Structure 1
Amino acid sequence: MSAYPEIGEQALCRPVPDGAFARYSARPVRTLDDFQKVVAIRAAVFMAEQDCPYEEEFDGNDFCATHFVVFDGDSPVGTLRLRWFAGFAKLERVVLLRGQRGRPALQVMLAEAFELATRKGYRRMIAQIQARLWPVWSRTFRCRLTADRPRFWFSDFEYAEIEIDLPEHPRALAPDSDPMVMIRPEGEWDAPGVLDASVARTDRPDVAA
């Protein structure tokens, strides 16, 4: 992501520490190579540490979601998944390698993910968290337990549902946004993309794709 995620950061309980964005960076997955990083990190933590079966961890939703990877320098150290529904987004599969837990990598990744969600116009997000981790998540981003929703179990853990209120982005994308902005790579809407460059090849710039 190219710009500082100042809107996404507002959804966190505490500002990202000084210097964290110089060390860590996070971006949406756009290539097979980055997706392989997602698979490797999740396998290392959810399958190896938590003994989650392969078919439960890779549940059929990965190719219809947006993934983020966070890097410590050039090394991938964490990932999360976002799925999109009418009126809300769903935060899933948030994970860091063991050596990164408690460090700013998580805040950087969440700030970037929340920035993308708010830029898409989302104001509400839900997540299903391991119930034992509620104290951790409640101190990480601005969230609340969803009222009147019972706890539930799957993959050998007890879960609770939470809601995250997202701030309004002043430049949220809308149906009447510039069409050339809408076709740029996910999360890179402010930088000209390859299709912007293709406009110079035609003498009829008013013709839509």
Structure 2
Amino acid sequence: MRFKKAETQFEYFSLMQIRATVFMCEQNVDPLLEIDDEDKTCDQFVVYDNDEIIGTCRVLKHESDWHIGRVAVLKEHRKKHCGSFMLSEVEKIARESGVKKLELGAQVAAMPFYENNGYRGYGDIYLDADIDHMMMEKRL
């Protein structure tokens, strides 16, 4: 697997296709909620398996902490550690940049995945796109 910042039209198109497949088709998220203004200002990343883009995430950078979002992996590539690989690669970049904390809004059903990657939940469960979420963080 290879992780990189999206730079080409092909990579942006592919990551939006993955997000549409995972969030809009599989989870019935409204497209008006899935694609937002933060897509214009965040860093978008993709994961390649050979020449195929199979996963994506985005990072909103704040001074000493970053927010990871829109973590998505194509169904046929799940359970192959692609998501953990993405988180690990974001952590490497964050550490090199002096970031002290990573945070994300996890779907409650996905919390065990994030816990296995060192994140801990905090606060109350909240609805985002009609799906239960909880904030999670990892100190670096």
Question: For the superposition of Structure 1 and Structure 2, which TM-score range results when normalised by the shorter chain?
Answer: over 0.9
From 82, 95, 98, the counterpart of 1:105: 82
Corresponding residue number in structure 1 for 2:118:
142
Corresponding residue number in structure 2 for 1:78:
55
Greater fraction of residues in strand: 2
Where 1:102 maps in the other structure, the secondary structure is: coil
Corresponding residue number in structure 2 for 1:25:
2
Tell me the amino acid that sits aligned with residue 36 of structure 1. Answer: F
From 66, 84, 90, the counterpart of 1:89: 66
Where 1:150 maps in the other structure, the secondary structure is: strand
Q: CA deviation at 1:161?
A: 0.6
Corresponding residue number in structure 1 for 2:133:
159
Q: Which has the larger radius of gyration?
A: 1
How many residue pairs get aligned? The number is 140
Greater fraction of residues in helix: 2
1:33-86 superposed Cα distances (whole Å, 9 cap, x missing partner): 211111111011111111111110001111100111001110000000100112
| Identity within the alignment, % | 25
Correspondence list, 1:116-131, <5 A: 116-131=93-108
Rounded Cα–Cα distance in structure 2 between residues aligned with 1:133 and 1:40: 21
Q: CA deviation at 1:116?
A: 1.2
Higher RCO (CA < 8 A, seq sep 6+)? 1
Q: CA deviation at 1:142?
A: 0.9
Rounded Cα–Cα distance in structure 2 between residues aligned with 1:106 and 1:93: 11
Contact between 1:25 and 1:109, CA under 8 Å: does it hold in 2? no
Rounded Cα–Cα distance in structure 2 between residues aligned with 1:145 and 1:108: 20
Corresponding residue number in structure 2 for 1:133:
110
Is 1:35 aligned to residue 16 of structure 2?
Answer: no
Structure 1: 5+ residue stretches without partners = 1-23, 167-209
| Two-structure CA RMSD over aligned residues (Å) | 1.2
TM normalised by structure 2 equals: 0.94
